[in-house]
Structure 1
Amino acid sequence: METQQVADRFNELAQAGLFEEILLELFSSDAKSIEPAHAPFQSVQGLDNIIAKGKQFHDLIEEMHGSYTNTPIVAGNFFACTMGMDVSLKGVGRQKFDEVAVYEVKDGKIISEQFFF
């Protein structure tokens, strides 16, 4: 798949709320997930570690009030989208998160994701 096709499929799955399917279908097994220095989670490499990091975050969610992922913008081997969620976190309360996510594609698979917030 070309970058545009990966971005389109990513968007299709994101709009359906199928984020685990995004990982399993579109990510390379050795992909990187890069977090900002101030993020509560560390950057990781490898699909299993990315899935585990996502599970850690979702285990903190007490209630999901809403979320969004906007249509990706493609440039070369990269695509970016804005996304966010409104959640109640265990022991913290209600929080709203907004971020820009940038994905790099190589050989039809996402090889890195980087978050900016």
Structure 2
Amino acid sequence: MDTNEIATKLVSWCKAGDFEKPYQELYSDKIVSIENDGSGEGAFVEGFEGIKKKGEWWQENFEVHSNTVSEPIVADNWFSVKFEMDTTHKPSGQRSKMSEIAVYEVKEGKIVKEQFFYDEE
């Protein structure tokens, strides 16, 4: 698959609310996932085990009420997607909206890196 095909599939699945299938189908087993600059606790993970733990943490801590996913912007081996979410932080009960830009790198037909950029409060 080329970068455009991967980007289109990821966006399609995310729009349908399936955030697990992209990891199973599109990601390299050597995936690197970074939140903002990667310096916070849990903000830099490697491999499927790291991604799995990150996903479990998200599911345990957030309820997603709505999710909006943009069409991808593709350039060579890179693509970006804008995500907007309305969530409730389960431990505190605080509801909030967030917007982030995700940037993905593709090598040999798989996503090898994802990095999310958003304002931290």
- Alpha-carbon separation, structure 2, partners of 1:82 and 1:69: 6
- Alpha-carbon separation, structure 2, partners of 1:22 and 1:72: 14
Q: Indicate the residue corresponding to 2:4 in structure 1.
A: 4
Normalised by the length of structure 1, the TM-score is 0.92
Q: Indicate the residue corresponding to 1:109 in structure 2.
A: 110
Measure how far apart 1:91 and its partner are.
2.8
The CA RMSD measured in Å over matched residues stands at: 1.4
Q: Indicate the residue corresponding to 1:94 in structure 2.
A: 95
After superposition, where does 1:55-74 map in structure 2 within 5 Å?
55-61=56-62, 63-74=63-74
- For structure 1, the 5+ residue unaligned runs are none
* 1:22-41 CA distance string (max 9 Å, x none): 11110000110011247563
* 1:13-54 CA distance string (max 9 Å, x none): 111111100111100001100112475632101012112101
Equivalent pairs counted in the alignment come to: 116
Q: Does 1:32 align with 2:32?
A: yes
**What SS does the corresponding residue of 1:67 show, helix, strand or coil?**
strand
Question: In 1, are the aligned partners of 2:67 and 2:86 still within 8 Å (CA)?
Answer: yes
Q: Quick one: which amino acid aligns to residue 110 of structure 1? A: I
Normalised by the length of structure 2, the TM-score is 0.89
Q: Quick one: which amino acid aligns to residue 95 of structure 1? A: S
Question: In 2, are the aligned partners of 1:23 and 1:51 still within 8 Å (CA)?
Answer: no
Q: Indicate the residue corresponding to 1:44 in structure 2.
A: 45
Change beyond 3 A, Cα 1:30–1:82:
same
**What is the aligned-residue identity percentage?**
39
**What SS does the corresponding residue of 1:94 show, helix, strand or coil?**
strand
- Alpha-carbon separation, structure 2, partners of 1:106 and 1:4: 12
- Alpha-carbon separation, structure 2, partners of 1:14 and 1:39: 25
**What SS does the corresponding residue of 1:19 show, helix, strand or coil?**
coil
